[in-house]
Structure 1
Amino acid sequence: MSRNSRRDFLRAGAASLACGGFSTLFPQIGLIPTALAGTPQPGYKALVCLFLSGGNDAWNLLLPGNVAAHGRYVAARNGLHNTSSNLGGLAFPHHSGSGFINGQTLPASLSIAGGQYGLNPFAPELKTLYDQGRLAFVNNMGTLIAPVTRANYNNFRPPQLYSHNDQTRLWQIGSGSSTSVTRGWGGMVAGYTAQIPTLSGLPPTITLSGQNRFLIGTTPSSQSFVPFSLSTSSSTPATQISNYPPPTASQSSNRAEAQRRAALEELLNAASPQAFTNDFRDTLDRSISLAEEVLNPAISAIDTNDPVNTPFAAISSDSLATRLRQIARVIKVSTDNTLANPINANRQVFYVSLGGWDTHSDQINGLNSASGHARLIERVSQAVAAFYQAMVNIGRASDVTLFSASEFGRTLNSNGDGSDHAWGSLQFAVGGAVNGGMYGRYPEIVLNNSLTGTTSVNATQGECFSRGQFLPTTAVDQFAATLARWMGVSNSDLPVLFPNIDNFTLGGHPNANPASTPTFANFSRIIPGMMNGVV
């Protein structure tokens, strides 16, 4: 890139600063002065966060398989959904087919774990992954300050418990105490484990769904960075200089333009203690050349029939699938040392979201509808399975873990047409390093379950309120810490990333023992056994 081109690019970048495009154009500025500030881990690993935005009704993703327990589930969910007589019912038939009436009720669930559970019939690909031992469900998870029961819940409830925005923030920052924290646990994991590439300048946190708190991180020396934004384009996924042509001669003399450029140069000066030294200038040159000289050429060179693309062929028009396919491509090129400008990444954290899960109405929507909760599950099942197969195809299945997240669960009972905001839910993790199976405690699907109340059906598995709002028995912090440890974060650094983590260890909090909170699944920093090598 010529020096004049750099000047033009900086001028165009200054104009973009005023319209909010700076973090997309210069996502790696904050990384430049601290390229080796973390503790780089050997090899390559990546996390992919799939955020189901709106609050997924996970109790219709994983159903009880025991006949008696399934009967209680049907009662709690206002009966089997029936297109002619019970449109407000939310329950699926048992995996044996009991109660299924062709054309009138939902399909029967899919048997997994020897019939102990039923999986949503629209997720056969997830069943295959579970049967292969590559998918783990973590039951009744949620944002927590400390282990809780119904008896002490008011003293330890997270702030703004049923608010979409607040619970999303708590999920993304890995702490149930305050929504004001500005960094996310995904970014912190990257900051503590990633070798920031000095040649390509590609940040270790990458988003396919816009800017978000989850990927904002800091290094151990407290230098912050923001995620790099990509599109799903197969030729130019990253913004390049040609997208921002220099202003005309008349524009360059405009006072507002001069002020914007001055603001950018002030920001660039602030990004380094030795502003515009030769080393910083050269690193900046490499960074702003990232799109057109490194990433875009590498992505565009991938053949349509490449094994990283082929698993997505049948679902190529689905927006979630195209974003996961782009993540798969980035992983492929990030680990390819034969490229002319290799990225040489050792750790990456990705984020993609899918909306539509706030199902207050039309949750079932009929068997043949293109929308509704069942069809969202179908899209997730197909896209996640394709992504895992792409990782198998490029030899990275054991190096990449995809996991789901959602701000909260939903009420068990119907509001007449759908479900409402609740608390505890379940999530899944998929990958070659995942020890498939069930983790945490799967609760009895009944309303108003309590250790001490009039309804007490195996209540030590989990309590809930009158509409089936479950109190979590596993903390988001524990799930996140397990994945962080797998990525290489040291056990001693976990409290830095997750300030409440020791509230969940035995004796670490007044509630953290079986006598005080018999419902809680594991009094430990991590979920034991879920990930290979994490103890």
Structure 2
Amino acid sequence: MKNLLTRRQFLGQASCAAVGSTALFSTLLNLRMASTAAAQGIPAGGDYKALVCLFFAGGCDSYNMLLPYGDSEYAEYAAIRADLALSKANNQILPLTLANPIGKELGVHHMMPEIQSLFNNGNAAWLANVGTLVEPTTKAQYQAESVILPLGLYSHSDQIRQWQTSVPQDTSAIGWGGRTADLLHSLNNNDNISMNISIAGNNTWQAGNEVFEYSISPNGSVGRRNYDATWGVNPAMNAAVDNQLDSDYQNLFQSTFAKASKSAIDSHLEFSAATDAVPDFATTFPEGNHLASQLRMVATSIAAHTTLNMNRQTFFVQLGGWDHHDEVLNNMDGMVPIVSQAIDSFYSALTEINEQNNVTLFTASDFGRTLTSNGAGSDHAWGGNHLVVGGAVNGGNVYGTYPDLYEGSPIDTGRGRLIPTTSVDQYFAELALWFGVSPQDLPTVLPNVTNFYTPGVTPPLGFMQMS
């Protein structure tokens, strides 16, 4: 849906438009041309695909999610993590069966048996030591500051934005999901509802130049009539509001407001009708699990995509509370099962509606965390491990380079703050290519991608089945 810019969005985009007006209009023109070309190239009968971004807000301690299991690498891990280490002797690590051995035995947190099964069954993959980079960076270059480094490297707000924009050297307000939607939204046959749907409110990832997120709740679209039902507004008041919105206004602002409001109501009614018609899933989503509630709504929206005439969709969900400066082990024991059970139910629901091969869920977070302890907790760091789930994933493998975990290693900037060995651009380029972005358009979506990958026949990392 081509939403009208809010004042916040306009100012945010204007402030980050360091490019001149000529370059800006050229970029917009190229986006429209590429969007038109993409629409013309869609196969007859449709070609549905969806990306689901699961954001761990706060900075996830992912080296206690994907961690060493072999004796020698576990000893190294236990030495640097000290009181933060999971106990192999007490069965706190579930072993993974890697389809392609990497010279290390790895496992997952003992409260993630569902993720272990998804991985071992070939429906999930891990990406090792991923993070924001402007260009390939060595420890010597980092220390000498002889390369461009991400802005606000260990700052929550900066790194959240950079993970969602994939432009670490700038304060851009346009996300790579939004730029992707600008390119591909014309593949959909519905101008009333955005292809970018958020179940977790406003986010940068889905903000584009033309396309913005359509925010819903875990219970569905929230429109004026939802509030009417809650508060018992008189039907006559509804009729009066509708009459106002249908009126013609000479004042530009009144007219724009009325049209935008009416469009929002119409979108709500169309989206609600489509999702309300979706039968209940046989899959059971765990009660009291907020992430599972969000993913159930995503699955419901996906089940309604034919009714909504959608061929491409993105979804944004979020689970916060990962800033564990204290009590890492106890906090993760409580939070990791929420993730594992929610993702497992989501994948089961996708299988139930036969969409598992058309939907890919991937995780992101502010940053990794220090391998060393601050006394029961860990602090802000850089590279971390991430999960990709879906039928189109080349699962059962760990992609990228899983690092040696000892203090003072060639990628340790101090306290186990690891320089990423895989950039977010490589990670996101693979997803974008699978989603339908052409190799020649990758630099439009990911401006730094050619610093790490030359678009061509071979994918950046190989974790997606390109078909």
- TM-score, L = length of structure 1: 0.71
**Residues in 1 aligned to 2:261 and 2:377: alpha-carbon distance in whole angstroms:** 52
Deviation at 1:527, TM superposition (A): 2.8
Partner of residue 299, structure 2: 328
**Equivalent position amino acid for 1:531 in 2:** M
Partner of residue 29, structure 2: none
For residue 386 of structure 2, give the secondary structure of its aligned residue in structure 1: strand
Note if contact 2:274-2:308 (Cα within 8 Å) is conserved in structure 1. Answer: no
Note if contact 1:54-1:406 (Cα within 8 Å) is conserved in structure 2. Answer: yes
Match of 1:348 among 289, 292, 313: 313
**Residues in 2 aligned to 1:415 and 1:497: alpha-carbon distance in whole angstroms:** 38
Deviation at 1:525, TM superposition (A): 8.8
**Residues in 2 aligned to 1:264 and 1:435: alpha-carbon distance in whole angstroms:** 51
* Greater Cα radius of gyration, structure 1 or 2: 1
Partner of residue 267, structure 2: 290
Residues 1:18 and 1:409: Cα distance change in structure 2 (over 3 Å):
closer
Match of 2:48 among 36, 44, 47: 44
**Residues in 1 aligned to 2:76 and 2:351: alpha-carbon distance in whole angstroms:** 40
Residues 1:266 and 1:393: Cα distance change in structure 2 (over 3 Å):
same
Match of 1:75 among 66, 76, 79: 79
Residues 1:199 and 1:475: Cα distance change in structure 2 (over 3 Å):
closer
- For 1:110-189, list aligned pairs within 5 A: 110-113=94-97, 116-153=105-142, 154-155=145-146, 156-178=148-170, 180-189=171-180
- For 1:399-414, list aligned pairs within 5 A: 399-414=358-373
Aligned length: 415
**Residues in 2 aligned to 1:501 and 1:375: alpha-carbon distance in whole angstroms:** 37
**Residues in 1 aligned to 2:236 and 2:368: alpha-carbon distance in whole angstroms:** 50
| Structure richer in helix, relative to its length | 2
Once the two structures are superposed, residues 266-298 of structure 1 have per-residue CA deviations (whole angstroms, 9 ceiling, x without a partner) of 6469xxxxxxxxxxx8x9967641222x22123
Note if contact 1:232-1:326 (Cα within 8 Å) is conserved in structure 2. Answer: yes
Note if contact 1:238-1:295 (Cα within 8 Å) is conserved in structure 2. Answer: no
Q: Is 1:299 paired with 2:275?
A: yes
Q: Is 1:530 paired with 2:467?
A: no
Deviation at 1:317, TM superposition (A): 1.9
Residues 1:199 and 1:151: Cα distance change in structure 2 (over 3 Å):
closer
Residues 1:195 and 1:18: Cα distance change in structure 2 (over 3 Å):
closer
Residues 1:132 and 1:264: Cα distance change in structure 2 (over 3 Å):
farther
For residue 318 of structure 2, give the secondary structure of its aligned residue in structure 1: strand
Partner of residue 284, structure 2: 311
Once the two structures are superposed, residues 229-279 of structure 1 have per-residue CA deviations (whole angstroms, 9 ceiling, x without a partner) of 11122xx53324563779979x99xxxxxxx9956446469xxxxxxxxxx
**Equivalent position amino acid for 2:465 in 1:** N
Partner of residue 415, structure 2: 467
Residues 1:501 and 1:247: Cα distance change in structure 2 (over 3 Å):
farther
**Residues in 2 aligned to 1:422 and 1:262: alpha-carbon distance in whole angstroms:** 52
Residues 1:124 and 1:226: Cα distance change in structure 2 (over 3 Å):
same
The root-mean-square deviation of aligned C-alpha atoms, in Å, is 3.3
For residue 311 of structure 1, give the secondary structure of its aligned residue in structure 2: coil
Give the share of equivalent positions with the same residue, in percent: 36
Once the two structures are superposed, residues 169-203 of structure 1 have per-residue CA deviations (whole angstroms, 9 ceiling, x without a partner) of 0100112211x212111122222123365556111
Unaligned runs of 5+ in 2: 10-31, 99-103, 242-248
For residue 428 of structure 1, give the secondary structure of its aligned residue in structure 2: strand
Unaligned runs of 5+ in 1: 1-13, 21-33, 79-88, 101-106, 219-223, 253-259, 270-280, 336-341, 366-371, 451-462, 509-522
Match of 2:216 among 191, 210, 230: 230
**Residues in 2 aligned to 1:172 and 1:206: alpha-carbon distance in whole angstroms:** 15
